[in-house]
Chain A
Amino acid sequence: MTMPDTNRMTLFSMTERAMSAQLVRMNAATSNLANAGSVATTEADAYRPIRVRFASELDQATGISGVRSDGIVRSETAPTKRYEPNHPLADADGHVWEAPVDESAEMIEIMESARQYQNLVQALTTAKQLMLETLRSN
């Protein structure tokens, strides 16, 4: 479904899209954190961390450039091979493959995302206040 006025970007729609892009990013990092320490029998089955790729979209008419999430990429980092013969998921040689999640990097990703979300909300509040002031002034 397309809305009639979707191609003209306003400050509000731009901020809204940027906020949802930040949420997608935060979800990806949370999913990585949740899968930290998960193991698999084969290398191919092991969880790979995901990252959201951002791209900016410029609206020529207004000069506003918004942001959108341009798809999700899977990390190329190889899973860690560990020798654990007693693990129920161990393969014939007694190895398990652990998801290569860097927990502190994911925490930083979440904090940065939250910080940027806050910034957007603040900018939106200020812009809204100024618009209301302008409307009330007459």
Chain B
Amino acid sequence: MSEQIFGIHGAALELRSRRMNVLASNIANAATPGYKARDIDFGAALNARLSRHSDGLQSGADGASHMVYKVPTMASLDGNTVELGREQVAFAENAMAYSATLSFVQGKVNTITRALKGE
């Protein structure tokens, strides 16, 4: 039901929030020796989510399967691959996208509310 109303945006919002967690972990581990920076392959994860829904399968807690390791521009000596600048930019970009998706969802909700009220 919610898939029909929100379309791609419901799944996107959830994935955006999961990606925010992953990027925040990278920022938190900026000084941990040997930590490998990770990210979610957003396009692949979203496609997988949408195709599974069209097959009529239930969505589970996935996203872990589309986790990728980042390739550092310049590796540091202690094996840590977090580059703070990149992480911050990615975090900001993801936050923006989250806001945008959220406003699409809000728009849908408003439309339906108005339709229900018969305005």
Contact = CB atoms under 8 A, between A and B. Distances in A.
Interface of A: 11, 14-15, 17-18, 22, 25, 53-56, 61-67, 112-113, 115-116, 119-120, 122-124, 126-127, 130, 133-134, 137-138
A62 B91 CA distance: 18
B32 A67 contact: yes
Interface in B50-105: 61, 63-64, 67, 84, 88, 91-92, 95, 98-99, 102, 105
Contacts of B17: 130
Nearest to A10: B21
B28 interface: yes
Contacts of B7: none
B81 to A, nearest CB: 12
B29 A67 contact: yes
B54 to A, nearest CB: 25
Given A14-B28, A130-B99, A138 B21 contact: no
Given A64-B21, A65-B35, A127-B20, 7 more contacts: A61-B61, A62-B21, A63-B64, A65-B28, A123-B23, A130-B17, A137-B102
B33 interface: yes
A130 B84 contact: no
B99 A133 contact: yes
A112 B29 CA distance: 13
Contacts, number: 89
B28 A63 contact: no
Is chain B's interface secondary structure helix, strand, loop, or mixed overall? Answer: helix
Contact of A137 (B24, B31, B88, B109): B109
Interface in B22-49: 22-25, 27-33, 35, 38
A80 B95 CA distance: 51
A119 B21 contact: no
A55 B32 CA distance: 6
